[in-house]
């Protein structure tokens, strides 16, 4: 006999609408949404009724950019605790990410529905140091190597192909044409320019701070054939380049127009810079800090021991300290402005976070920070669309996730507040449903071991 759940008296955000629909109901049958309506619900007598009067029901959130192999099981659970019911692994060795995907789908691990890209496709020059390199990268040494490297990924039914930093333009073009639109292709670009990738037919760009940079920054801050992003010099160029960029220049306005016309998604990953946005002292004392997963902490500890880290070693990107040249806040505000201009031009903004690759904010919770930053750039409703319906469309999974409509998976959130008025109200998440199964965020968080570097004596408040 089927299992029915009826949510009634909801303030409903379906993933699309510009204002919530009051007095709504949602009927779930097993793991899918059966019907949605307003007023008096028509439900089978045996339905389990959940009265959500005064609360908002919205689709489970989608993080379009995570690294599931870097965070351990505790990290995966955090997604559900934060209301993120779907995520795309945006770079990890194929066997590894496929194994995590299977374990999540079978219910052997608690975490989001996982879509996968497989490895990051770099050129012949190594883009990342260990331990990231062997967990995440695959080299495509030449144009001729493209079929041999890309065919097995398509045969293994990856959901996306991801181009990486040191991939030369010609090889990038060849990969995009070889994939032929069968799955989306996205890029964390460095050597290949965003404008070239858009012209070649790429579907998305990752990191607003990095992928469009070469088309936007003043010429003296462009990087050449730089082998790695893991250097202080590279970080300085990035910050100064953004700080001094003139977004009204023709090459920038052309890029924005082309991205909008072709609906190339901008995966924002603004929350990677949360510490700059939020301030270092606030971030030190942020209660989310206690949830940095043990696997991420262990990697940071090893990096700090090798590279020299201070007392707050758990907060910094490996290899980078807390000091900056230039004004990182100005650079970040310019990136928000780029998002605002792209959105105003009709472009596709989607939320992603690099969860697993960064420690703070922790997985899952980082998407809530991403949404806060996006809301500043494009407004509350557009920010929520960016992590629901728009993200699903970009991943080409809109028939399964990203909205509340008949036939979609019963992935939905119950929030004791109105996140369309203020996205920070997503923190008042009381229940998460994934495939019609209920989870309680507070219970999941209570089971995550606390970060021992977290200065709990100095902190007031909590999740």
3-state helix, strand, coil in the chain (%, to 5): 40, 20, 40
Q: Which is nearer to Zn ion, 357 or 363 (CB)?
A: 357
Q: Which is nearer to Zn ion, 187 or 357 (CB)?
A: 357
Measured from the CB of residue 230, what is the shortest distance to Zn ion in angstroms? 13
Measured from the CB of residue 189, what is the shortest distance to Zn ion in angstroms? 12
Q: Which is nearer to Zn ion, 10 or 183 (CB)?
A: 183
Q: Which is nearer to Zn ion, 357 or 364 (CB)?
A: 357
Q: Which is nearer to Zn ion, 14 or 354 (CB)?
A: 354
The conformation of residue 448, written as its DSSP 8-state character, comes to S
Return the axis-axis angle of helices 169-179 and 146-155, rounded to nearest 10°.
40
Three-state DSSP at 417 gives: coil
Three-state DSSP at 43 gives: coil
The 3-class secondary structure across 374-386, one letter per residue, is HHHHHCHHHHHHH
Measured from the CB of residue 268, what is the shortest distance to Zn ion in angstroms? 12
Beta strands in 197-313 (DSSP E): 204-206, 265-267
Q: Which is nearer to Zn ion, 354 or 372 (CB)?
A: 354
Q: Which is nearer to Zn ion, 211 or 381 (CB)?
A: 211
Measured from the CB of residue 74, what is the shortest distance to Zn ion in angstroms? 19
Q: Which is nearer to Zn ion, 206 or 380 (CB)?
A: 206
Please give the helix or strand (H or E) that residue 10 lies within, else none.
Answer: strand 4-12
Q: Which residue is nearest to Zn ion (CB)?
A: 354
Measured from the CB of residue 275, what is the shortest distance to Zn ion in angstroms? 17
Q: Is the peptide bond before 131 cis (omega within 30 degrees of 0)?
A: yes
Q: Which is nearer to Zn ion, 286 or 354 (CB)?
A: 354
The answer to whether the CB of 200 falls within 8 A of the CB of 185 is: no
Q: 432 has which bridge partners?
A: 413, 439
Q: Burial level of 403, CB count in 10 A (0-12/13-18/19+)?
A: buried
Q: Is the dihedral of CA 373, 426, 12, 32 positive or negative?
A: positive
Positions that interact with Zn ion (CB under 5 A): 354, 357
Measured from the CB of residue 231, what is the shortest distance to Zn ion in angstroms? 17
Measured from the CB of residue 351, what is the shortest distance to Zn ion in angstroms? 14
Measured from the CB of residue 90, what is the shortest distance to Zn ion in angstroms? 5
Question: Could you give the CA distance from residue 151 to residue 103 in angstroms, rounded to a whole number?
Answer: 24
> DSSP letters along 149-181, please?
HHHHHHHTT-S-EEE-TT--HHHHHHHHHHHTT
Question: Could you give the CA distance from residue 204 to residue 184 in angstroms, rounded to a whole number?
Answer: 8
Question: Could you give the CA distance from residue 456 to residue 359 in angstroms, rounded to a whole number?
Answer: 17
Measured from the CB of residue 25, what is the shortest distance to Zn ion in angstroms? 39
Q: 24 has which bridge partners?
A: 10, 38
């Amino acid at each position: 006999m089927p299992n029915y759940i009826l949510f009634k008296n909801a303030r409903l955000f379906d993933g699309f609408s510009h204002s919530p629909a009051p007095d709504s109901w949602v009927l779930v049958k097993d793991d899918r949404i059966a019907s949605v309506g307003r007023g008096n619900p028509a439900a089978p007598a045996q339905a389990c009724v959940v009265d959500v009067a005064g609360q908002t029901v919205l689709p489970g959130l989608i993080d379009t950019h995570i690294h599931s192999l870097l965070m351990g099981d505790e990290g995966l659970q955090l997604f559900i605790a934060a209301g993120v019911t779907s995520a795309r692994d945006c770079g990890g060795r194929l066997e590894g990410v496929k194994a995590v995907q299977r374990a999540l789908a079978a219910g052997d691990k608690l975490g989001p529905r996982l879509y996968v890209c497989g490895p990051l496709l770099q050129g012949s020059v190594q883009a990342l140091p260990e331990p990231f390199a062997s967990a995440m990268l695959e080299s495509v040494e030449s144009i001729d190597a493209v079929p041999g490297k890309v065919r097995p990924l398509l045969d293994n039914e990856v959901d996306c192909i991801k181009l990486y930093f040191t991939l030369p333009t010609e090889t990038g073009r060849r990969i995009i044409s070889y994939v032929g639109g069968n799955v989306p292709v996205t890029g964390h670009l460095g050597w290949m320019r965003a404008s070239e990738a858009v012209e070649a037919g790429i579907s998305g760009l990752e990191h607003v701070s990095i992928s469009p940079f070469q088309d936007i920054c003043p010429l003296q801050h462009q990087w050449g054939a730089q082998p790695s992003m893991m250097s202080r010099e590279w970080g300085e160029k990035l910050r100064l380049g953004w700080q001094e960029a003139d977004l009204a220049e023709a090459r920038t306005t052309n890029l924005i127009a082309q991205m909008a016309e072709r609906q190339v998604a901008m995966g924002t990953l603004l929350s990677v810079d949360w510490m700059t946005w939020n301030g270092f002292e606030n971030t030190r004392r942020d209660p989310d800090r206690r949830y940095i997963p043990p696997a991420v902490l262990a990697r940071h500890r090893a990096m700090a021991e090798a590279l020299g880290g201070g007392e707050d070693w758990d907060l910094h990107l490996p290899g980078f300290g807390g000091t900056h040249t230039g004004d990182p806040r100005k650079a970040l505000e310019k990136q928000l402005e780029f998002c605002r201009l792209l959105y105003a031009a009709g472009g596709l903004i989607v939320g992603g976070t690099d969860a697993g690759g960064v420690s703070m904010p922790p997985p899952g919770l980082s998407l809530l920070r991403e949404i806060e930053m996006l809301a500043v750039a494009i407004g509350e409703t557009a920010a929520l669309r960016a992590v629901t319906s728009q993200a699903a469309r970009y991943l080409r999974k809109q028939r399964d996730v990203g909205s509340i409509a008949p036939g979609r998976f019963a992935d939905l959130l119950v929030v004791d507040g109105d996140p369309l008025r203020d996205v920070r109200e997503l923190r008042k998440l009381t229940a998460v449903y994934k495939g019609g199964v209920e989870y309680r965020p507070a219970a999941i968080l209570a089971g995550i071991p606390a970060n021992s570097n977290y200065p709990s004596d100095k902190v007031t408040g909590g999740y």
